[in-house]
Structure 1
Amino acid sequence: MKITLIIHSLTYGGAERIMSIMANYWSAKGWQITLLTFDDNKIPDFPLDSRVTYIPLGIAEKSLNAIIGIWNNLKRIRILRNAIINSDPDIVISFMSRINITTLLATRWLNIPVIVSERSNPEKSYLGWNWQKLRKWTYSFADKIVFQTQRARDYFPVKLQNNSCIIPNMVVLPAIKKQSVEKVVIERSLIAMGRFVPEKGFDLLLQAFAKLKDNYPEWTLTILGDGKLRPELECLRNELGLSDRVYFPGMVNDTYAFLQQADIFIMSSRFEGFPNAICEAMTCGLPVISTDCPSGPREIIRDGIDGILVPNEDISALAAAIERLISNEQERNYLAAHAPEITERFSVKKIMEMWEDVLVKVTQKEFIIQKSESNTAKFR
């Protein structure tokens, strides 16, 4: 099997991580994998099997205006089309809306099966009017559309839903062993992580934690990550009197060291696609509190079994859930004991079998069409 994978980049991010796992998994099976990225980063942030052909195309430059944007997109389509042809794939898989649109246009009339995958929440991730229209039009060209959640699937017209399936993210982590390591968090620690952007809701988390600071002075909050909102979040932390209780270590190489030493993981997002951070925390045996945001947490967390879901953007409810676990060690231990079961529920083997089932169906469908067209041609 020869597969060409396409994504914007292989820099830090959930979709990028999943695509690198897929590339390595199939490469290990002896399949011929080509991975094309739109950026020009020659050294990806995620490790790739040496057998994966990795080609950064360098077509991700921003456009100064609409006219230049049209020209750049036409150039992207041409360069991507040539790269796909040169990779000679049996099937193409692309991730993320704009990349999917460009891929479907680049593969038009090439007679190559194409699977596209939505990796964010389409209700909240507004592309702009032109791209929104293009997505609905071009997605009809896809041989299959892969969504991560039912809610993301429901956003699209029924015709597109009928040509789709749901495949969640897999959970894969390096072997984690409890061992004596340098302390990276203070005991009695809440932890969160993600990009410092509005959708992650760290402002909500700070306000919720502030409600508890006086009653639980021994507890601290560590938020891993970085981004454009860092100055605003630091100001809010100080305004809430949390300067000595909330820590922003920035981007860290070993997030698992932090997760292993924390007591409770919190996700305060306003919206998500399929949050890998929750999965990573649960694999480390952490009880999880998450907003029931669209979409992803409800598909991952079994409320009351391995985590707690709270109403979206409800600061008081988030504070109440945090206090509930802070004050109840027995419930924390119960949730923590069940959390690692996620590694079985979303194992690499299970998820990759779902992907391979789609590959078989799509390539068989394509084969049948080609065979039918060939037989028709004989009788012309």
Structure 2
Amino acid sequence: MAFLPPPPQSKTRPDIAIFLYGATSGGAPRRALTLAREFAKRGFEVDWVVANPDAPLAERVPENVRAVALDGVVSKWAALRRRKPLALRAAIPALGRYLSRENPRVLLSAANSAHFSAFLAHRISRSGTKLALRICTHLSGGTAGTSRAPRPVARALARLFVPRADFVIAGSQSVASDLVALTGIARERVSMVYNPVVDATVAERAREALDHPWFAAGEPPVVLSAGRLVAQKDYPTLLRAFAALRPKLSARLVILGEAKKPERRQRLLDVAKELGVADDVDFPGLVANPYAYMARARVFALSSAFEGLPGVLIEAMACGCPVVSTDSPGGSSEVLDGGRHGELVPVGDAEALAGALERSLTSEPDRKALRERAGAFSVDAGVAATLSALDLPPSLSSGRPS
């Protein structure tokens, strides 16, 4: 995907400009890539506007989506050093110029870290663009785009900019409730739209070959987890739970996901060594096809301290993999329907998590029911609901928006 740095004015006014730091491996960027692809498939003119065009998944930006790298020396310097907050702040003037020049119908800020920058750029642009904020996780857990500010300041800023957006989309009922409590926005102004997660490609890719010795026939069962190696995911609790499980059952633990800084991965390895389970724990990093792992794992574990709508839980269920999760602030309980489709345990409780893993490993899963539940979070439903929340037609066969 070739980025335009910056582009000339397009011949056609963009319908939707999706703004975020870049195509990193987190859940919000991956859902944004899905939205970009599906919006374009439905006939919308889509711009992918980022501060960092060289993020790990940049090659996944669809060819029929115009990729725009925001200019600016400081922003480029910060992006090169993967300093997301600085890169997003430094990109505000360039984003404002983009909005003034291109005047897209909607600017969709697609990740919590981008919202404050999107708000300021929108204000200075004085364009006719509508501002939409897609709130991915609890703002009270890590307030939108202001994580480096003291929490009272961050919350005050959220109360300033969230109610001033034209459209506000929450990724789960729990996130919507948190948003109302934190910012004072009226509940009727918040659209609740589940993430677009499951389509036919999940099952197709789940059947692809997997080159990892631990998943070969006859090997001990594998507990799988996936997500960035960040504090939010609370992998130390998962490691402690696995260590408590190992004396009772032979098993292995695989944690997929990248570490922004190598020392984060090393710290987790050190924890595994201290617990005496390092030989049975693997960190493969960012993998091209996590679904092949999910289809072959015996159980998927989510140990997060907070979430929005955890797509990895849904993806694992779509692959027929049993799941256990912390009952963290966010949408985990919604995904699992209050525990009907997988055990929920208290946040930070390694003993409870170990017990849930043991019960899952020693019982026979209903894989059909898991796949059916995951189908409630389909790409088609999520995209249609997002377009409706943005006051746009289901496709441009219904007429180009005015």
| TM-score range relative to shorter protein | 0.7 to 0.9
Answer yes or no: is 1:226 the counterpart of 2:258: yes
CA distance in 2, matches of 1:151, 1:270: 14
- 1:11 paired residue number: 24
Matched, 1:119 2:136: yes
1:353 lines up with 2:379 in the alignment:
no
Contact persistence 1:190–1:219 (CA under 8 A): yes
* Aligned equivalent of 2:214: 185
Which of 157, 174, 179 pairs up with 1:151?
A: 174
Structure 1 residue ranges without an equivalent (≥5): 64-68, 363-370, 372-380
Cα distance, 1:62 vs structure 2: 4.4
Partner SS, residue 391 of structure 2: helix
User: Which residue pairs with 2:398 in the alignment?
Assistant: none
Tell me what 1:136 maps to.
159
Which one of the candidate residues 292, 296, 302 is aligned to 2:331? 296
Deviations 1:218-239 (A, max 9, x none): 3211112232421121112112
Structure 2 unaligned spans of 5+: 1-13, 80-84, 394-401
SS, match of residue 92 in structure 1: strand
Q: What is the match of residue 103 of structure 1?
A: 118
Shift of 1:181: 5.1
**Shift in Å at residue 42 of structure 1?**
8.2
Query: Which residue of 1 is the match for residue 95 of structure 2?
Result: 80
SS in 2 for 1:309: strand
Deviation digits for residues 304-330 of structure 1, max 9, x if unmatched? 5321111121111111111112222x3
Separation of aligned partners in 1, 2:314 and 2:290: 13
Q: Deviations over 1:21-44 (max 9, x none)?
A: 111111112211111112242885
TM-score using structure 1 length: 0.84
Q: Distance in 2 between matches of 1:360 and 1:123?
A: 28
Q: 1:12 to 1:304 in 2, by over 3 A?
A: closer
2:26–2:227 Cα contact (<8 Å) kept: no
- Who is 2:344 aligned against? 309
- Amino acid in structure 1 at the alignment position of 2:185: K
Distance 2:390 2:258 in 1: 37
Q: Distance in 2 between matches of 1:350 and 1:242?
A: 42
1:209 is aligned to 2:224: no
Cα shift at 1:182:
4.2
How far did residue 291 of structure 1 move? 0.5
Moved more, 150-159 or 29-38: 150-159
Structure possessing the higher relative contact order (Cα contacts under 8 Å, 6 or more residues apart)? 2
Aligned equivalents of 2:208 and 2:91: distance in 1? 49
Q: Displacement, 1:70? A: 10
- CA spacing shift, 1:46–1:206, aligned 2, 3 Å: same
Cα RMSD after superposing both structures: 2.7
After superposition, where does 1:357-368 map in structure 2 within 5 Å?
A: 357-360=388-391
Using structure 2 for the length normalisation, give the TM-score. Answer: 0.80
- Partner residue in 2 for 1:66: none
State the secondary structure of the residue aligned to 1:159. Answer: coil
The one-letter amino acid paired with 1:102 is S
C-alpha distance in structure 2 between counterparts of 1:144 and 1:31, whole Å = 18
The number of residue pairs the alignment matches comes to: 352
Percent of aligned pairs sharing the same letter:
26
Q: Which residue of 1 aligns with 2:230?
A: 197
